[in-house]
Amino acid sequence: MTNDTTPTTVLGLGAMGSALAAALIDAGHPTTVWNRSPARARPLVARGAAAAGSAEAAVSASPLIVACLFDHASVHEVLGPTAGSLRGRTLVNLTTSTPNQARELAAWSASHGIDYLDGGIMAVPEMIGGPGSAILYSGSQTAFDAHRALLDLWGESTYFGSDAGMASLYDLAMLAGMYTMFAGFLHGAAMVGSEGVSATEFAARATPFLAAMTGAFAGFAATIDAKDYAGEGQQSLEFSDLTKLVSASTEQGVSAEVLQPVHQMIRRQIAAGHGKEGFARIFEELRSTR
């Protein structure tokens, strides 16, 4: 188990990387930081971090390496030349990546003797170390267990198993719901905005309604897992038809691009004879067919 002074290196000092490093410094961990633009390290050095002059020096400074870089390609660009120094160390990659990219980096790490843990951050930088911050992990359980106390400094830590891609999969799946919800809110704001209603007023009304609607997730989940789309109490696809929403939007001069994909799935399901079944039936059109 890690102690409270585990030396740690943070590679990448954007808003999120800086927040991660600051939480470590505040908790008393000897923290080394590195960024392509050295100026980004100055606020952290003022708080007690040590700035490394190169990625190689940063990796060599600590047994635990945290990468929070721009993308998957930048992780390889930064870490590739340091592979020899990384051998025998633990790499926690908190760079947003796809599941297969995480798996590829895990395989690369294994080939170089690096203990690899992948993470998906479910928080914005301002939330790190505070209420509501959560980070999902998968990959090396040895690394997760050994450094759990440190990982918990950033937010609630949850481990999803040895498949390094699972944290990313959960992360991106939840973000898919978030961005779709945000787009729906913006669409609604555009609709009422066409008549001079402010987005602020609309948000005040939409927020409690949408929050209440998330209570339906458990029911949808039970329906999907049971594949019981004809069960009682479900809103049918015919009733859920979005024709009126699409028409009202276009009448107000608002693009229906946000609505059209869902509308088309509903129409296809109805055409296939599932109109009396519940709205959750569109899951069958979305689900993986691998």
How would DSSP label each residue in 64-131? Answer: EEEE--SSHHHHHHHHGGGHHHHTTSEEEE-S---HHHHHHHHHHHHHTT-EEEEEEEES-GGGTTST
The answer as to whether 271 is a domain residue is: yes
Average pLDDT over residues 223-235: 95
**CA-CA distance, 21 to 38, in Å (whole number)?**
15
**108 shares its domain with 201:** no
Q: Assess whether 210 and 100 both reside in one domain.
A: no
Q: Among 141, 163, 185, give the residue marking a domain's end.
A: 163
Residues 13, 155, single domain; the answer is: yes
Assess whether 47 and 103 both reside in one domain: yes
Q: Which of 131, 135, 130 is nearest to 66 (CA)?
A: 135
Q: Which domain holds residue 158?
A: 8-163
pLDDT at 5: 80
What integer pLDDT is reported at residue 290 of this predicted model? 67
Residue 238 located in a structural domain: yes
| Amino acid 1: pLDDT | 38
pLDDT at residue 3 greater than cutoff 90: no
Q: What are the residues facing 8 on neighbouring strands? A: 31, 64
pTM of the predicted model as reported, rounded to 2 decimal places = 0.94
The answer to whether position 172 is within a domain reads no
Asked if residue 185 belongs to a domain, the reply is no
Residue 4 has pLDDT above 60, yes or no: no
pLDDT band at 289 (very low <50, low <70, confident <90, very high): low
Same-domain pairing of 17 and 154: yes
- Integer angstrom CA distances of residue 213 from 45, 105, 210, 216: 46, 38, 5, 6
- Count of the separate structural domains present in the chain: 2
Per the domain annotation, does 177 fall within a domain? Answer: no
Same domain, yes or no, for 91 and 229?
no
* Model pLDDT, residue 178: 97
Residue 277: what residue type?
A: E
- Mean pLDDT over residues 135-152, rounded? 97
Assess if residue 54 is contained within a domain. Answer: yes
For residue range 242-268, list pLDDT tens digits in order.
999 999 999 999 999 999 999 999 999
Q: In terms of Cα–Cα distance, which of 152, 165, 13 is closest to 74?
A: 13
Question: Does residue 223 share a domain with residue 113?
Answer: no
- Is residue 42 a part of any domain in this protein? yes
Residue 183 lies in a domain: no
- In a shared domain, residues 157 and 199: no
Among residues 147, 163, 179, which one ends one of the domains? 163
Name the average pLDDT for the chain: 96
* Rounded mean pLDDT, 54-70: 98
Rounded (10°) CA dihedral 122, 124, 125, 131: -70
Nearest to 180 by CA among 210, 225, 137: 210
- Same domain? For 148 and 210 the reply is no
What CATH number should be reported for the domain holding residue 136?
Answer: 3.40.50.720
Mean pLDDT of 72-77: 98
Q: Which of 163, 181, 209 is the last residue of a domain?
A: 163
